[in-house]
Amino acid sequence: MTSSTRRVVVHAPAKINLHLRVGPPGGDGYHPLVSVFQALSLFEEVTAAATAPGAGTSVTTAGRGAAAVPLGEGNLAVRAAHALALAAGVAPDVALHLRKAVPVAGGMAGGSADAAAALMACDLLWGTGATRAELLALAAGLGADVPFCLVGGTALGTGRGDVLQQVDARGELHWVLVMAQEGLSTPAVFTALDAARAEGSVPAVQDLVPEVPAVLAAALHSGDPVAIGAALANDLQAPALALRPDLAATVAAAGVAGGLGSVVCGSGPTVAVLARGTEHAAELAATLGAHGETKHVCGPVPGARQVEGADLSPLHPAMRGRAETATP
């Protein structure tokens, strides 16, 4: 980048959890997690444009669910810009524009992707010289999923989900996302899990082993989608289904339709269904359209990255030119 750069555009991916185990909450209210994340070809796009000195931070939004996104200090991209400016000792002068594609409150880390993309875009715009480690530390302070949106790929997350280690995963997976109109509150789903465990309606907390379960590790290493589909697991699925009983029908329909496996994304309500390949994904997307808006995406994809211009297609290269069942 040169000092004449006036605008930086960054894409950051949505995530799903192939495996999510949740421990009892700590004193800070956060739950220890063992998570296997995968980044998907569904991207938030953040443009960071230079403003007049002293103008401060402004934000505008467009795209999927944009009206539901706060525009003040509660906006995660704004918080990211402010955190970076403070750490780097620069003025937080930037006009941010978020082009959203990830469902708001959909369990896919859309807000975290905004924060990750804003961190990278502002870092490039301002030329702060922050190291990768410094950006990751700032990301972890913004939210548990923000570091993963920076690194992408397929990764084991421990701690709050923010301590990351890449996982050996071969091949490309085809997922059909079934997206709901109404989002789910992440804290409400964690609280429902705690309550269900306290009353004994879901199994008590197991010991959290901070590694990829052997069966899933072998499946990812081989890249066999049938084995991966059989190994999907999420402790937040039961409380998400309890809060949103309609999701049980989506999960059941995914099995009847021949999905290799399905899992609620994070705290829901999006459901991810694994397909054998492109054609199978198109069939599943058509069949499951009765349960919500469907979209065919691929994983894994890289984390946040600068793109050449705002008009680039936000699609993974593997998806270019393919028919899609929905557009953001």
Torsion of CA 145, 150, 154, 160, to 10 degrees: -30
Cβ contact 39:299 at 8 Å: yes
Judged by CB, which is closer to ligand C5P: 93, or 145?
A: 145
Q: Which of 143, 261, 266, 292 binds ligand C5P (CB under 6 A)?
A: 143
Q: How far is the CB of 323 from ligand C5P (least distance, A)?
A: 33
Residue 95's beta-bridge partner residues?
Answer: 49, 58
Number of residues forming the site for ligand C5P (CB under 6 A): 13
- Edge to edge, what strands does the sheet with 173-179 contain? 261-264, 271-275, 173-179, 293-299
3-state helix, strand, coil in the chain (%, to 5): 35, 25, 40
Within 79-118, the residues that bind ligand C5P by CB under 6 A are: 112
Going by their DSSP bridges, the two strands 173-179 and 94-100 should be labelled as unpaired
Site string for ligand C5P, 236-275 (x = CB under 6 A): ----------------------------------------
Within 189-228, the residues that bind ligand C5P by CB under 6 A are: 190
Q: Name the catalytic one among 93, 114, 145, 235.
A: 145
Half-sphere exposure of 62 (CA within 13 A, CB side): 7
295 in catalytic set: no
Q: Which of 106, 107, 161, 292 binds ligand C5P (CB under 6 A)?
A: 161
Q: Which of 45, 145, 235, 293 binds ligand C5P (CB under 6 A)?
A: 145
Cβ contact 270:240 at 8 Å: no
Judged by CB, which is closer to ligand C5P: 144, or 271?
A: 144
Cβ contact 47:240 at 8 Å: no
96 sits in which H/E element: strand 94-100
Q: How far is the CB of 145 from ligand C5P (least distance, A)?
A: 5
Site string for ligand C5P, 17-46 (x = CB under 6 A): ------------xxx-x-------------
22: left (phi over 0), alpha (psi -120 to 50) or beta: beta
Site string for ligand C5P, 175-194 (x = CB under 6 A): -----------xx--x----
SS3 298: strand
15 in catalytic set: yes
* Residue 160 engages ligand C5P in binding (rule: CB under 6 A): yes
For ligand C5P, the binding residues (CB under 6 A) are 29-31, 33, 112, 143-145, 160-161, 186-187, 190
| Enzyme catalytic residues | 15, 145
